[in-house]
Structure 1
Amino acid sequence: MTTTASPSETPYGRVVGVIPARLASTRLPNKVLREVAGEPLLAWVYRAAKACPDFAEVVIAADSPEVQTLCQERGWPCVMTSPELPSGTDRLFAVSRTVEADIYVNVQGDEPLLRPEHIADILSPFAMPHVDVTTLKVLCTAENLNNPNAVKVVTARDGRALYFSRATIPFDRDNTGCVKVWKHLGLYAYRRAALERFASLAQGELEQAERLEQLRLLENGLALYVAATEHDTVGVDTEDDLRRVEMILIANPTV
């Protein structure tokens, strides 16, 4: 599938949302096809992404015939990518070979509570021309402080990312209670050139240790900026997450 660029719809150019839909998830296998409130999880994510007006297009990056078949049945744009690709961003790059955009947004396939405000927030740092990549943070709740599935981030004063970790950072040594802990939300937006650069880089020690692909950017000096958002999400990593999201969607299916 090849698309041609349409007129820019944002101040940053043409923005395309890409949903990496990896079937072989290690923590929750087949999760993008798991039923949630009567629909596959991927259906909720696609619906949420399509509701974001900043996207000129939303494309699913599949890695299996099962996901491809669902996309065909539902009429969703889909690009097949290799199941051997190590990260969602590598899958994003594969889509960029055939889908033209100025900015590509990685919408994780397990984020059904995505809101238009998330996309507006994640695009805002691109007003600074030196920014290569952006992502989001939200204040961490007490229940997630020691949860390794809730990744933490620390930034410089201007928003540039300093480090991401599954550990609780920063560490409040004297227990002052004054330090803010920020939870990272797993959405990323890349300028086209930055996405190409990412794909050319090998995994580093930090990325392999934490299993966090964004550390590849930091290890190689790319300008990754983190925008704050008021809206938390529930990424689906476990059976408990699946049930929690289902309760939210049943209570408010228009979330």
Structure 2
Amino acid sequence: MPRCHGFVPARYASSRFPGKPLAEILGKPMFWHVCTRAMQCPELESVHLATDDERIFQAAKDLDIPVIMTASNHPSGTDRIHEAACALGLGGSDVVVNIQGDEPALAPGMLSQLLAPFTDAEVQATTLAHQISHERAQISDQVKVIWTNRGDALYFSRSVIPHGTKKDQPIWGHIGMYAYRFATLERFTSLVPGRLEQCERLEQLRLLENGIPIRVVPTEYITRGVDRPSDIEAVQALMTESA
């Protein structure tokens, strides 16, 4: 297993939920829950918050969360973690983990599963998926994924895929965490957004459009992201239930 380092991108600006990383969940800001849970993953040598906002930076310092200040003009969280990884001097075959800052119910075991495929030198990037209900699949915020027999992603979509899936057939929801070899992450940030990425508003499609495979790892873990303030109540209930 190569050296693995986790990064949690956290920006204050958000059209749907301004200040989301600082949203209080069970008495602590959301980023604190994500970072402290990620630190429990034994495969990660370090976990850092990567932000462009002084309020988030200071809150992390106050709570003893390792934090790196990054530029404010990054078009995506992936670009932000690339800057943070460079600041730590990572390179070569090091694995960089992009841990979404709106997943406060994160289970450390999910990260272990995400990293397991990197024992295979051919694997360049990984992500997670779990089976979801047909009702949840109708929600556009819940991204769906399908993959090949080898386990590499075929497509990600906000629509239900494949079309015509029957009630007794599984639908897989994408969990927005990624791990990349540093060289793959660096290439990703050098590519321009493609047609499919812009249509679906899903940056991971940039890799697929450029022939870079993403290994999809099915997980039994249940998680719930926070897209809007109204999601916090459901996430708190999930975290309390699994505590």
Short-chain TM bin? over 0.9
1:88 aligned partner: 77
1:209 aligned partner: 199
1:64 aligned partner: 53
Superposed structure 1 runs of 4+ greater than 4 Å apart? none
- TM-score when normalising by structure 2: 0.94
Quote the offset at 1:38 in angstroms. 1.1
Tell me how far apart the structure 1 counterparts of residues 85 and 37 of structure 2 sit (CA, whole Å).
21
5+ unaligned residues in a row in structure 1: which ranges?
A: 1-11
Residues 1:200 and 2:200 are matched in the alignment: no
**2:229 counterpart (239, 244, 254):** 239
Residue 176 and residue 73 in structure 1: after superposition, are their counterparts in 2 closer, same or farther (change >3 A)?
Answer: closer
Contact 2:102/2:227 (<8 A) preserved: yes
2:38 aligned partner: 49
Q: Deviations over 1:200-247 (max 9, x none)?
A: 111112111211110111111112110100002101001221111122
Residues 1:126 and 2:118 are matched in the alignment: yes
Contact 2:43/2:115 (<8 A) preserved: no
- TM-score when normalising by structure 1: 0.90
1:8 aligned partner: none
Quote the offset at 1:63 in angstroms. 1.5
**1:139 counterpart (131, 152, 157):** 131
Tell me how far apart the structure 2 counterparts of residues 153 and 83 of structure 1 sit (CA, whole Å).
30
Tell me how far apart the structure 1 counterparts of residues 176 and 126 of structure 2 sit (CA, whole Å).
10
Moved more, 103-112 or 115-124: 115-124
Contact 1:32/1:42 (<8 A) preserved: yes
2:108 aligned partner: 116
Report the AA paired with residue 82 of structure 1. Answer: A
Residue 77 and residue 176 in structure 1: after superposition, are their counterparts in 2 closer, same or farther (change >3 A)?
Answer: closer
Partner secondary structure for residue 226 of structure 2: coil
Contact 1:22/1:109 (<8 A) preserved: no
Alignment of 1:20-31 (within 5 A): 20-31=9-20
**2:3 counterpart (11, 14, 22):** 14
Report the AA paired with residue 25 of structure 2. Answer: V
Residue 100 and residue 228 in structure 1: after superposition, are their counterparts in 2 closer, same or farther (change >3 A)?
Answer: farther
Residues 1:153 and 2:142 are matched in the alignment: no
User: Would you say how many aligned residue pairs link Structure 1 and Structure 2?
Assistant: 240
Tell me how far apart the structure 1 counterparts of residues 166 and 86 of structure 2 sit (CA, whole Å).
49
Coordinate RMSD, CA, aligned? 1.4
Partner secondary structure for residue 119 of structure 1: helix
1:6 aligned partner: none
Report the AA paired with residue 124 of structure 1. Answer: A
Q: Deviations over 1:1-55 (max 9, x none)?
A: xxxxxxxxxxx21110100012112221111101111111111111111111111
1:104 aligned partner: 96
Contact 2:134/2:167 (<8 A) preserved: no
Tell me how far apart the structure 2 counterparts of residues 150 and 136 of structure 1 sit (CA, whole Å).
13
Tell me how far apart the structure 1 counterparts of residues 151 and 89 of structure 2 sit (CA, whole Å).
28
Q: Deviations over 1:94-143 (max 9, x none)?
A: 11112244101111001111112111211122232221110000001233
Identity %: 41
Report the AA paired with residue 126 of structure 2. Answer: T
Moved more, 83-92 or 185-194: 83-92
5+ unaligned residues in a row in structure 2: which ranges?
A: none
Quote the offset at 1:151 in angstroms. 0.2
